[in-house]
């Protein structure tokens, strides 16, 4: 089943010199089990779960401090990233840096490295890039309001049956399913 | 020795960050292996022709939940030492609705956008830049929201603590549900298979 998507990506590619065929993704039940073990290990070692959004906040605080250090020290929300020294020493940022490397290793091994824009055949690259930026902006807002994202709330909180996380998960799926029809030309 | 490790031993900052990095590589490897570096694979779940997102997420949750329940019953893990993000039903409902909109429009979530960037997806980079802008805008433009969340928070709330039913029973129920849902998702994928991209 996953073959179809991988083949689609290859035939859509214009680089005919590439000989390495993207390999199919792993069985979702198997990857889910492995991801669950990573989450379990994270809990067993640190007492907390995974996360991603805090890394973006840490980078923001670091960048803001380069541009406007007085503003950062005056802002409680940004200054808190400097409590333990540099915001770049953030635990979640290191987790995300590791995720970047892990994903790249997996992509190289699976011959899935490709400089490309993911979109449906009816969308244009520019339209897709604009929507990706807008979607990232909106998702960041949602994650800040909900105090976590798919990693920090859904996975992490779900595993310990955190009521707020279960509500978050239901809300995410309800919203995305309700809106899917309106953005179908971006994907199908 | 009792888990979590963080409760029984003091880790140096360097060790703590090294652990984060190593756990992160496992996290990112799994995301990319599942196909979650691809926005079309991720959004496919909302058009019902490929339910991998739900399968992976729920299997991961059930696996970790079962492991936590077993370790706790075996006396190796102190449940009380695990961090529970305080619940604010309104914040998680509103935030979830907003987040879901960002997900279906942007094609990624924060973690998966990293896997997309790592494998060369330009739209992943755009999403990540949007995230940076969004987090900064939240901090700069709407500082009042955090106060509203705190004022409306219910505090620590898990299904076992609210219902008094132990975690292991929920783990069993989730496993049973997952088996049933797996059968149902297979049906859905067949029914909506015509939406699958064919190049």
Radius of gyration of chain A (CA): 19
Asked whether the beta carbons of residue A35 and residue B84 sit closer than 8 angstroms, the reply is: no
Residues A140, A188, single domain; the answer is yes
Residues A106, A160, single domain; the answer is no
- Spatial contact of A120 and A134, defined as CB atoms under 8 Å apart: no
- Spatial contact of A113 and B103, defined as CB atoms under 8 Å apart: no
Residue-level pLDDT at B8 = 87
- Model confidence band, residue B199 (pLDDT cutoffs 50, 70, 90): low
Chain A closest-CA separation from residue B193 CA (Å): 10
A35 belongs to a structural domain: no
A155 belongs to a structural domain: yes
Residue-level pLDDT at B54 = 97
Q: Which residues of chain A register pLDDT less than 50? A: 1-2
- CB proximity under 8 Å: B 8-37 to A: 13, 16-35, 37
Residue-level pLDDT at B197 = 85
- Helix axes of B122-141 and B89-106: crossing angle, nearest 10 degrees: 150
Calculate the CA dihedral of residues A18, A24, A25, A28 and round it to 10 degrees.
170
**Residue B78: is its pLDDT beyond 60?**
yes
Question: Who wins on pLDDT, A5 or B39?
Answer: B39
Asked whether the beta carbons of residue B197 and residue A5 sit closer than 8 angstroms, the reply is: yes
Please give the Cα distance from A3 to A23 (Å, whole number): 8
Burial status of residue A56 (CB atoms within 10 A of its CB: 0-12, 13-18, 19 or more): buried
For range B129-158, the mean pLDDT:
94
Report the number of distinct structural domains present in chain A.
Answer: 2
A127 belongs to a structural domain: yes
* The overall pTM is greater than 0.80: yes
For range B162-167, the mean pLDDT:
96
Residues A131, A108, single domain; the answer is no
List, in order, residues 6 or more apart from A9 with CB less than 8 Å away: A22, A114, A116, B38
Residue-level pLDDT at A1 = 46
Q: Which of A94, A139, A164 is facing B110, going by the closest CB pair?
A: A139
Q: Which of A115, A131, A150 is the last residue of a domain?
A: A115
B84-109 pLDDT, tens digit each: 999 999 999 999 999 999 999 999 99
| ipTM for this model | 0.97
Chain A residues with CB-CB distance to B64 below 8 A: 36-37, 39-40, 43, 155, 159
Could you give the angle at the alpha carbon of A51 between the alpha carbons of B70 and B99, nearest 5°? 115
**Residue B72: is its pLDDT beyond 60?**
yes
List, in order, residues 6 or more apart from B32 with CB less than 8 Å away: A102, A103, A104, A106, A107, A110, A112, B115, B118, B119
- Interface check for B69 against chain A (CB to CB < 8 A): the answer is no
Of A138, A87, A17, the closest CA to residue B102 belongs to A138
- Spatial contact of A57 and B139, defined as CB atoms under 8 Å apart: yes
| Residue A86 backbone class (left: φ over 0; alpha: ψ -120 to 50; beta: rest) | beta
- Spatial contact of A140 and B135, defined as CB atoms under 8 Å apart: yes
Chain A residues with CB-CB distance to B106 below 8 A: 131-136, 138-139
Chain A residues with CB-CB distance to B141 below 8 A: none
Q: Where are the domains of chain B?
A: 14-195
User: Residue A80 sits in which domain range?
Assistant: 51-115
Chain A residues with CB-CB distance to B97 below 8 A: 142, 171-172, 174-175
Residue of B nearest to A1 (CA): B50
């Amino acid at each position: 089943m996953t073959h179809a998507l991988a083949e689609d990506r290859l035939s859509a590619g214009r680089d005919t010199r590439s000989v390495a065929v993207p390999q199919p993704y792993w069985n979702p039940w198997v990857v889910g089990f492995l991801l669950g073990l990573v989450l379990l290990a994270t809990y067993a070692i640190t007492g907390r779960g995974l996360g991603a959004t805090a890394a973006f906040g840490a980078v923001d605080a670091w960048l803001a401090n380069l541009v406007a250090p007085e503003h950062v020290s005056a802002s409680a929300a940004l200054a808190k990233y400097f409590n333990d020294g540099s915001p770049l020493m953030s635990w979640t940022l290191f987790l995300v840096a590791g995720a970047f490397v892990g994903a790249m290793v997996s992509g190289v091994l699976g011959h899935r490295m490709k400089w490309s824009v993911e979109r449906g055949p009816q969308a244009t690259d520019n339209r897709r890039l604009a929507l990706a930026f807008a979607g990232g902006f909106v998702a960041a807002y949602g994650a800040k309001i909900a105090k976590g994202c798919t990693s920090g709330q859904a996975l992490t909180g779900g595993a310990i049956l955190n009521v707020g996380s279960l509500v978050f998960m239901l809300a995410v799926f309800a919203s995305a399913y309700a809106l899917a029809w309106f953005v179908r030309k971006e994907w199908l | 020795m009792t888990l979590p490790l963080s409760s029984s031993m003091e880790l140096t900052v360097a060790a703590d960050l090294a652990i984060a990095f190593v756990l992160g590589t496992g996290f990112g490897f799994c995301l990319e292996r599942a196909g979650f570096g691809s926005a079309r694979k991720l959004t496919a779940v909302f058009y019902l022709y490929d339910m991998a997102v739900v399968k992976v997420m729920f299997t991961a949750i059930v696996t970790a939940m079962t492991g936590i329940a077993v370790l706790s019953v075996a006396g190796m893990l102190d449940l009380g030492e695990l961090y529970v993000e305080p619940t604010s039903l309104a914040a998680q409902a509103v935030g979830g609705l907003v987040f879901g909109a960002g997900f279906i429009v942007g094609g990624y979530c924060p973690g998966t956008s990293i896997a997309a960037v790592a494998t060369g997806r330009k739209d992943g980079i755009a999403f990540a830049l949007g995230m940076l802008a969004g987090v900064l805008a939240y901090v700069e433009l709407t500082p009042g929201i955090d106060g509203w969340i705190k004022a409306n928070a219910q505090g620590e709330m898990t299904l076992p603590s609210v219902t008094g039913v132990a975690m292991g029973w929920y783990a069993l129920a989730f496993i049973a549900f997952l088996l049933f849902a797996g059968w149902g998702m297979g049906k859905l994928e067949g029914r909506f298979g015509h939406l699958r991209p064919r190049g």
